[in-house]
Amino acid sequence: MLIALFADIHANREAFEACLAHARVHRAQHWVFLGDHVNYGADPEWVVGTIMDYVSAGSTAILGNHDAAVAEPRSIMDSPAQPAIEWTRVQLGAAQRAFLAGLPLTVEHGDILFVHADATAPRKWNYVTDRPDAVRSLRATKCRMTFCGHVHRPATYNMSETGRLTAFQPVTGAAVPLLPQRRWLAVIGSVGQPRDGNPAASYAMLDTERSEITYFRVPYDVETAAAKIRQAGLPEILAERLGWGH
């Protein structure tokens, strides 16, 4: 099965549409949304509604910290996330808010774990940014493969039976074989808010039959996405950093 993996869409319709179209061209058969569907971008209702349609057809969606904040008005986020989440709450309808509130923190499919952040304590929203983080996350589950987001930068980690960890940056379009004698943690880059210096949207495709993952970068209409953020009156930095890729 070909599984399209999307993380950190952040209400960026233009980036999300481009990635969905790319995945369809590459014959995706299942769709997984790894959390942080909203905030920062100008199209939260459209993005959540689209994910709801996919989930109703059998796809998988996970809760992210920005999604959780929609239902937690007392939660305080850093600037510029705080004014953006307050704006986002107003934009979402009751059905979209209920959908986000009902999302699970984790989903397991056989030997695969889907989670937004570190698997050790998903609700604490810890990042997996280095080798010690990856080791902790891998040891928190018995699943052979873990797929997460939250970091906004693509990365791949694998651990041998003796506990030796290897980390590397995946190359766009090059399949990574998920060797069965090792355990794997793949951090999927961000669809709507890349932070690795590349403004192109990031997503990945898991081929369960071949046991390999391929990361993709998809150009999209950054200017339109940024203009919509400005038109909504959201913080200027949210528009500017789309073009920076960080």
Yes or no: say if 117 and 148 are a contact pair by the CB < 8 Å rule. Answer: yes
Q: Listing from the earlier edge strand, what are the strands of the sheet with 60-61? A: 60-61, 30-33, 2-6, 201-207, 212-218, 176-177
Locate 13 and state its tokens. 């319709």
Closest CA to 116 of 66, 157, 75, 73: 66
DSSP code, position 152: S
Asked if pLDDT for residue 73 goes beyond 80, the answer is no
pLDDT over 70 percentage in the chain: 99
Neighbours of 89 (CB within 10 A): 17
Q: Sign of the C-alpha dihedral, residues 174, 190, 146, 104?
A: negative
Task: Enter the pTM of the model.
Answer: 0.96
Residue 184's DSSP bridge partners are 145, 158
Asked if pLDDT for residue 196 goes beyond 80, the answer is yes
* pLDDT, average across residues 58-85: 89
> Could you give the angle at the alpha carbon of 201 between the alpha carbons of 228 and 189, nearest 5°?
125
Ranges of H-type helices in 162-205:
none
The half-sphere exposure of 81 on its side-chain side, counting CA atoms within 13 A, is 15
Domains and CATH numbers, the chain: 2-244 (3.60.21.10)
* pLDDT, average across residues 195-214: 96
Pairing relation of β-strands 112-115 and 201-207? Answer: unpaired
**pLDDT tens readout for residues 167-183:** 989 999 999 999 999 99
pLDDT for 78 equals 82
pLDDT for 14 equals 98
Closest CA to 15 of 200, 232, 205: 200
Q: Please list, in sequence order, all residues whose beta carbon lies within 8 angstroms of the beta carbon of residue 193, skipping any fewer than 6 positions away.
A: 8, 10, 12, 40, 41, 152, 241, 242
**pLDDT tens readout for residues 8-46:** 999 999 999 999 999 999 999 999 999 999 999 999 999
Q: Listing from the earlier edge strand, what are the strands of the sheet with 145-148? A: 106-109, 112-115, 145-148, 183-187, 155-159, 165-168
